[in-house]
Protein backbone atom coordinates (compact mmCIF):
# COMPACT_ATOMS: atom_id res chain seq x y z
CA UNK A 1 0.00 0.00 0.00
CA UNK A 2 2.77 2.40 -0.89
CA UNK A 3 5.11 1.05 1.78
CA UNK A 4 7.63 -0.34 -0.73
CA UNK A 5 8.58 0.05 -4.39
CA UNK A 6 8.70 -2.93 -6.73
CA UNK A 7 10.71 -3.43 -9.93
CA UNK A 8 8.29 -5.11 -12.38
CA UNK A 9 11.13 -6.18 -14.69
CA UNK A 10 12.84 -8.10 -11.90
CA UNK A 11 9.65 -9.03 -10.02
CA UNK A 12 11.48 -7.94 -6.90
CA UNK A 13 10.87 -5.39 -4.15
CA UNK A 14 13.51 -2.69 -4.01
CA UNK A 15 13.46 -2.78 -0.22
CA UNK A 16 13.16 -5.66 2.19
CA UNK A 17 9.85 -6.76 3.64
CA UNK A 18 9.43 -5.45 7.18
CA UNK A 19 8.38 -8.89 8.37
CA UNK A 20 8.67 -12.57 7.49
CA UNK A 21 5.02 -13.68 7.18
CA UNK A 22 5.58 -17.45 7.37
CA UNK A 23 8.98 -18.41 8.72
CA UNK A 24 8.30 -22.08 8.04
CA UNK A 25 8.33 -21.53 4.28
CA UNK A 26 11.79 -21.16 2.72
CA UNK A 27 10.48 -18.82 0.00
CA UNK A 28 9.19 -16.54 2.74
CA UNK A 29 12.75 -15.99 4.00
CA UNK A 30 13.61 -14.05 0.83
CA UNK A 31 12.32 -10.66 1.92
CA UNK A 32 12.84 -9.16 -1.55
CA UNK A 33 10.67 -11.69 -3.42
CA UNK A 34 7.02 -11.12 -4.24
CA UNK A 35 4.43 -13.70 -3.15
CA UNK A 36 6.85 -16.63 -2.93
CA UNK A 37 7.95 -15.97 -6.55
CA UNK A 38 4.56 -17.24 -7.74
CA UNK A 39 2.49 -14.23 -8.87
CA UNK A 40 0.24 -16.43 -11.05
CA UNK A 41 -1.09 -18.15 -7.95
CA UNK A 42 -0.82 -15.53 -5.17
CA UNK A 43 -1.41 -11.85 -4.56
CA UNK A 44 -0.23 -9.63 -1.70
CA UNK A 45 -2.46 -6.54 -1.48
CA UNK A 46 -0.91 -5.05 1.68
CA UNK A 47 2.65 -6.26 1.33
CA UNK A 48 2.50 -8.54 4.37
CA UNK A 49 -0.02 -11.34 3.73
CA UNK A 50 0.09 -13.41 0.52
CA UNK A 51 -3.42 -14.49 -0.39
CA UNK A 52 -3.88 -17.55 -2.56
CA UNK A 53 -5.88 -16.75 -5.69
CA UNK A 54 -6.51 -20.48 -5.95
CA UNK A 55 -8.93 -20.19 -3.03
CA UNK A 56 -11.18 -18.08 -5.19
CA UNK A 57 -10.75 -20.42 -8.12
CA UNK A 58 -11.65 -23.41 -5.97
CA UNK A 59 -14.78 -21.59 -4.90
CA UNK A 60 -15.67 -20.96 -8.51
CA UNK A 61 -15.05 -24.62 -9.26
CA UNK A 62 -17.42 -25.61 -6.48
CA UNK A 63 -20.05 -23.39 -8.09
CA UNK A 64 -19.22 -24.94 -11.46
CA UNK A 65 -19.63 -28.49 -10.19
CA UNK A 66 -22.86 -27.64 -8.41
CA UNK A 67 -24.28 -25.97 -11.51
CA UNK A 68 -23.26 -28.88 -13.73
CA UNK A 69 -24.58 -31.48 -11.26
CA UNK A 70 -27.97 -29.78 -11.05
CA UNK A 71 -28.20 -29.42 -14.82
CA UNK A 72 -27.26 -33.07 -15.29
CA UNK A 73 -29.85 -34.11 -12.71
CA UNK A 74 -32.56 -32.24 -14.58
CA UNK A 75 -31.52 -33.87 -17.86
CA UNK A 76 -31.57 -37.26 -16.15
CA UNK A 77 -35.17 -36.66 -15.13
CA UNK A 78 -36.07 -35.95 -18.74
CA UNK A 79 -34.38 -39.15 -19.89
CA UNK A 80 -36.35 -41.14 -17.29
CA UNK A 81 -39.68 -39.46 -18.12
CA UNK A 82 -41.76 -41.76 -20.36
CA UNK A 83 -43.87 -38.79 -21.49
CA UNK A 84 -40.87 -36.76 -22.72
CA UNK A 85 -40.64 -36.29 -26.48
CA UNK A 86 -37.88 -37.88 -28.54
CA UNK A 87 -36.42 -34.42 -29.18
CA UNK A 88 -36.40 -33.58 -25.45
CA UNK A 89 -34.65 -36.86 -24.66
CA UNK A 90 -32.12 -36.31 -27.42
CA UNK A 91 -31.32 -32.85 -26.06
CA UNK A 92 -31.10 -34.19 -22.51
CA UNK A 93 -28.75 -36.97 -23.58
CA UNK A 94 -26.55 -34.48 -25.41
CA UNK A 95 -26.47 -32.21 -22.35
CA UNK A 96 -25.41 -35.09 -20.09
CA UNK A 97 -22.68 -36.02 -22.56
CA UNK A 98 -21.39 -32.44 -22.68
CA UNK A 99 -21.41 -32.23 -18.88
CA UNK A 100 -19.30 -35.37 -18.72
CA UNK A 101 -16.86 -33.90 -21.22
CA UNK A 102 -16.65 -30.67 -19.21
CA UNK A 103 -15.79 -32.50 -15.98
CA UNK A 104 -13.32 -34.83 -17.68
CA UNK A 105 -11.38 -32.09 -19.49
CA UNK A 106 -10.96 -28.95 -17.33
CA UNK A 107 -9.53 -25.73 -18.66
CA UNK A 108 -6.04 -25.88 -20.09
CA UNK A 109 -4.84 -22.63 -18.54
CA UNK A 110 -6.31 -22.93 -15.07
CA UNK A 111 -6.00 -25.73 -12.52
CA UNK A 112 -9.79 -25.99 -12.37
CA UNK A 113 -12.76 -25.14 -14.58
CA UNK A 114 -14.95 -22.10 -14.17
CA UNK A 115 -18.71 -21.59 -14.49
CA UNK A 116 -18.11 -20.06 -17.92
CA UNK A 117 -17.85 -23.71 -19.06
CA UNK A 118 -21.57 -24.06 -18.38
CA UNK A 119 -22.34 -20.96 -20.42
CA UNK A 120 -20.42 -22.40 -23.35
CA UNK A 121 -22.20 -25.74 -22.91
CA UNK A 122 -25.57 -23.99 -23.02
CA UNK A 123 -24.54 -22.29 -26.25
CA UNK A 124 -23.56 -25.60 -27.85
CA UNK A 125 -26.80 -27.17 -26.63
CA UNK A 126 -28.81 -24.37 -28.22
CA UNK A 127 -26.96 -24.93 -31.50
CA UNK A 128 -27.70 -28.66 -31.32
CA UNK A 129 -31.39 -28.00 -30.69
CA UNK A 130 -31.56 -25.70 -33.70
CA UNK A 131 -29.77 -28.28 -35.85
CA UNK A 132 -32.13 -31.15 -35.06
CA UNK A 133 -35.16 -28.88 -35.49
CA UNK A 134 -33.94 -27.88 -38.93
CA UNK A 135 -32.71 -31.22 -40.26
CA UNK A 136 -33.36 -33.98 -37.75
CA UNK A 137 -30.86 -36.39 -36.27
CA UNK A 138 -28.55 -36.30 -39.29
CA UNK A 139 -28.07 -32.53 -39.02
CA UNK A 140 -27.70 -32.78 -35.25
CA UNK A 141 -24.90 -35.33 -35.49
CA UNK A 142 -23.17 -33.22 -38.13
CA UNK A 143 -23.36 -30.25 -35.75
CA UNK A 144 -21.76 -32.34 -32.99
CA UNK A 145 -18.94 -33.37 -35.32
CA UNK A 146 -18.32 -29.85 -36.62
CA UNK A 147 -18.57 -28.04 -33.27
CA UNK A 148 -16.72 -30.49 -31.02
CA UNK A 149 -14.03 -31.82 -33.35
CA UNK A 150 -11.91 -34.53 -31.74
CA UNK A 151 -14.27 -34.68 -28.76
CA UNK A 152 -17.26 -35.58 -30.95
CA UNK A 153 -16.81 -39.40 -30.88
CA UNK A 154 -16.73 -39.40 -27.09
CA UNK A 155 -19.91 -37.32 -26.91
CA UNK A 156 -21.67 -39.54 -29.46
CA UNK A 157 -20.66 -42.62 -27.47
CA UNK A 158 -21.87 -41.04 -24.22
CA UNK A 159 -25.19 -40.25 -25.89
CA UNK A 160 -25.48 -43.85 -27.04
CA UNK A 161 -24.80 -45.06 -23.51
CA UNK A 162 -27.59 -42.74 -22.32
CA UNK A 163 -30.04 -44.55 -24.62
CA UNK A 164 -29.80 -42.43 -27.77
CA UNK A 165 -29.55 -43.89 -31.31
CA UNK A 166 -31.44 -47.05 -30.29
CA UNK A 167 -34.26 -47.09 -32.86
CA UNK A 168 -34.63 -49.23 -35.97
CA UNK A 169 -33.92 -47.40 -39.22
CA UNK A 170 -32.76 -48.52 -42.62
CA UNK A 171 -29.04 -49.15 -43.04
CA UNK A 172 -28.95 -46.26 -45.50
CA UNK A 173 -30.45 -43.86 -42.96
CA UNK A 174 -27.90 -44.80 -40.30
CA UNK A 175 -25.11 -44.38 -42.85
CA UNK A 176 -26.38 -40.88 -43.68
CA UNK A 177 -26.60 -39.95 -40.00
CA UNK A 178 -23.16 -41.10 -38.90
CA UNK A 179 -20.99 -41.75 -41.91
CA UNK A 180 -18.40 -44.39 -41.16
CA UNK A 181 -15.59 -42.48 -39.45
CA UNK A 182 -17.49 -40.91 -36.53
CA UNK A 183 -19.40 -44.12 -35.80
CA UNK A 184 -16.24 -46.23 -35.75
CA UNK A 185 -14.37 -43.76 -33.56
CA UNK A 186 -17.29 -43.91 -31.10
CA UNK A 187 -16.96 -47.72 -30.92
CA UNK A 188 -20.31 -48.35 -32.60
CA UNK A 189 -21.45 -50.64 -35.41
CA UNK A 190 -24.56 -50.70 -37.58
CA UNK A 191 -26.10 -54.17 -37.45
CA UNK A 192 -28.17 -55.25 -40.46
CA UNK A 193 -31.10 -57.16 -39.00
CA UNK A 194 -31.20 -59.18 -42.20
CA UNK A 195 -27.71 -60.15 -43.18
CA UNK A 196 -26.53 -58.65 -46.43
CA UNK A 197 -25.93 -62.08 -47.94
CA UNK A 198 -29.71 -62.75 -47.72
CA UNK A 199 -30.98 -59.28 -48.66
CA UNK A 200 -31.38 -59.87 -52.39
CA UNK A 201 -33.30 -63.10 -51.82
CA UNK A 202 -35.77 -61.17 -49.65
CA UNK A 203 -36.14 -58.40 -52.22
CA UNK A 204 -34.07 -55.79 -50.40
CA UNK A 205 -31.30 -53.47 -51.46
CA UNK A 206 -28.52 -53.16 -48.90
CA UNK A 207 -29.50 -49.59 -48.01
CA UNK A 208 -33.09 -50.73 -47.32
CA UNK A 209 -32.23 -53.42 -44.76
CA UNK A 210 -33.64 -52.68 -41.28
CA UNK A 211 -30.70 -51.89 -39.01
CA UNK A 212 -29.78 -50.89 -35.46
CA UNK A 213 -26.75 -49.22 -33.85
CA UNK A 214 -24.86 -51.44 -31.40
CA UNK A 215 -21.75 -51.37 -29.28
CA UNK A 216 -19.04 -52.85 -31.48
CA UNK A 217 -17.90 -55.53 -29.02
CA UNK A 218 -21.47 -56.66 -28.34
CA UNK A 219 -22.20 -56.70 -32.06
CA UNK A 220 -19.21 -58.81 -32.95
CA UNK A 221 -19.11 -61.20 -30.00
CA UNK A 222 -22.79 -61.66 -29.24
CA UNK A 223 -24.84 -60.93 -32.35
CA UNK A 224 -22.66 -61.69 -35.37
CA UNK A 225 -21.03 -64.71 -33.72
CA UNK A 226 -24.43 -66.24 -32.93
CA UNK A 227 -25.76 -65.63 -36.43
CA UNK A 228 -22.71 -67.23 -38.03
CA UNK A 229 -23.05 -70.15 -35.63
CA UNK A 230 -26.67 -70.65 -36.69
CA UNK A 231 -26.10 -69.87 -40.36
CA UNK A 232 -22.50 -70.66 -41.34
CA UNK A 233 -21.38 -68.95 -44.51
CA UNK A 234 -20.57 -72.32 -46.07
CA UNK A 235 -24.21 -73.46 -45.98
CA UNK A 236 -27.22 -72.96 -48.24
CA UNK A 237 -30.54 -72.02 -46.64
CA UNK A 238 -34.12 -71.42 -47.66
CA UNK A 239 -36.19 -68.52 -46.30
CA UNK A 240 -37.87 -70.66 -43.62
CA UNK A 241 -34.50 -71.83 -42.27
CA UNK A 242 -33.19 -68.28 -42.17
CA UNK A 243 -36.28 -67.11 -40.27
CA UNK A 244 -36.03 -69.95 -37.75
CA UNK A 245 -32.38 -69.05 -37.12
CA UNK A 246 -33.29 -65.40 -36.60
CA UNK A 247 -35.98 -66.41 -34.12
CA UNK A 248 -33.41 -68.37 -32.12
CA UNK A 249 -30.91 -65.50 -32.11
CA UNK A 250 -33.24 -62.50 -31.76
CA UNK A 251 -36.01 -64.20 -29.77
CA UNK A 252 -36.59 -64.78 -26.07
CA UNK A 253 -35.44 -68.41 -25.95
CA UNK A 254 -32.65 -69.71 -23.70
CA UNK A 255 -29.93 -68.59 -26.13
CA UNK A 256 -31.82 -65.63 -27.57
CA UNK A 257 -31.06 -61.91 -27.26
CA UNK A 258 -34.66 -61.11 -26.30
CA UNK A 259 -35.11 -58.49 -29.01
CA UNK A 260 -38.69 -59.11 -30.23
CA UNK A 261 -38.74 -55.71 -31.94
CA UNK A 262 -35.97 -56.93 -34.25
CA UNK A 263 -38.10 -59.91 -35.27
CA UNK A 264 -41.09 -57.64 -35.85
CA UNK A 265 -38.98 -55.42 -38.11
CA UNK A 266 -37.81 -58.26 -40.39
CA UNK A 267 -40.93 -60.46 -40.36
CA UNK A 268 -42.77 -58.67 -43.25
CA UNK A 269 -39.96 -59.59 -45.65
CA UNK A 270 -40.26 -63.28 -44.76
CA UNK A 271 -44.05 -63.23 -44.63
CA UNK A 272 -44.34 -62.21 -48.27
CA UNK A 273 -42.32 -65.29 -49.23
CA UNK A 274 -44.83 -67.58 -47.54
CA UNK A 275 -42.70 -68.30 -44.47
CA UNK A 276 -44.55 -69.62 -41.41
CA UNK A 277 -44.03 -67.52 -38.31
210-259 per-position pLDDT tens digit: 999 999 999 999 999 999 999 999 999 999 999 999 999 999 988 899 99
The pLDDT, as a whole number, for residue 4 is: 67
Cα–Cα distance between 238 and 256 in angstroms, integer? 21
Residue 8 pLDDT greater than 90, yes or no: no
**Mean pLDDT value across residues 261-270:** 97
Beta strand extents in 110-229 (DSSP E only): 169-170, 188-192, 210-215
Residues 263 and 196 occupy one common structural domain:
yes
Answer yes or no: is 227 within a domain: yes
Q: What are phi and psi of 201, to 5 degrees?
A: -60, -30
How does pLDDT run across 56-68, given as a tens digit for each residue? 555 555 655 666 6
The answer to whether the CB of 257 falls within 8 A of the CB of 222 is yes
The pLDDT, as a whole number, for residue 74 is: 85
Residues 66 and 146 occupy one common structural domain:
yes
Residues 44 and 101 occupy one common structural domain:
no
Residues 66 and 153 occupy one common structural domain:
yes
**What's 28-89 look like in SS3?**
HHCCCECHHHCCCCEECCCCCCCEEHHHHHHHHHHHHHHHHHHHHHHHHHHHHCCCCCHHHH
Mapping DSSP to helix (H, G, I), strand (E, B) and coil, where does residue 106 land? Answer: coil
What 125-130 contacts at long range (C-beta under 8 Å, 24+ apart), as own/partner pairs, is 125/91, 125/94, 125/95, 125/98, 128/91, 128/94, 129/87, 129/91
Answer yes or no: is 273 within a domain: yes
Tell me how far the alpha carbon of residue 235 is from its chain's centroid: 41
Domain span holding position 133: 58-161
Answer yes or no: is 252 within a domain: yes
The pLDDT, as a whole number, for residue 153 is: 92
Answer yes or no: is 170 within a domain: no
Calculate the alpha carbon distances from 72 to 132, 186, 276 in Å.
Answer: 20, 22, 48
Residues 70 and 115 occupy one common structural domain:
yes
pTM value surpassing 0.85: no
The pLDDT, as a whole number, for residue 89 is: 86
How does pLDDT run across 153-204, given as a tens digit for each residue? 999 998 999 888 989 999 999 999 998 789 999 999 999 999 999 999 999 9
Return the percentage of the chain with pLDDT > 90, whole number: 47
Answer yes or no: is 118 within a domain: yes
**Mean pLDDT value across residues 90-99:** 84
Answer yes or no: is 28 within a domain: yes
Answer yes or no: is 166 within a domain: no
Residue 113 pLDDT greater than 50, yes or no: no
Domain count, the chain: 3
The pLDDT, as a whole number, for residue 24 is: 62
Residues 127 and 75 occupy one common structural domain:
yes
Residues 121 and 150 occupy one common structural domain:
yes
**Mean pLDDT value across residues 98-120:** 53
The pLDDT, as a whole number, for residue 82 is: 86
The pLDDT, as a whole number, for residue 118 is: 65
Residues 204 and 257 occupy one common structural domain:
yes
Residues 141 and 233 occupy one common structural domain:
no
Beta strand extents in 78-229 (DSSP E only): 169-170, 188-192, 210-215
| pLDDT-based confidence at residue 111 (cuts at 50, 70, 90) | very low
Answer yes or no: is 63 within a domain: yes
Amino acid sequence: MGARWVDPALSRWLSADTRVPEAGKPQSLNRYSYVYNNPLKYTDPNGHCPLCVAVGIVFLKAVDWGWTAWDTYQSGRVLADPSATDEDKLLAGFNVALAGLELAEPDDLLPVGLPVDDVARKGILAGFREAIQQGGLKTGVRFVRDSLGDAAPGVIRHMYDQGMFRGIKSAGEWADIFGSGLRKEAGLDVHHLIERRFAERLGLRESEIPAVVLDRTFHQQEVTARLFSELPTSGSYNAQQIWEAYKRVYGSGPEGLNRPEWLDAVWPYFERLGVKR
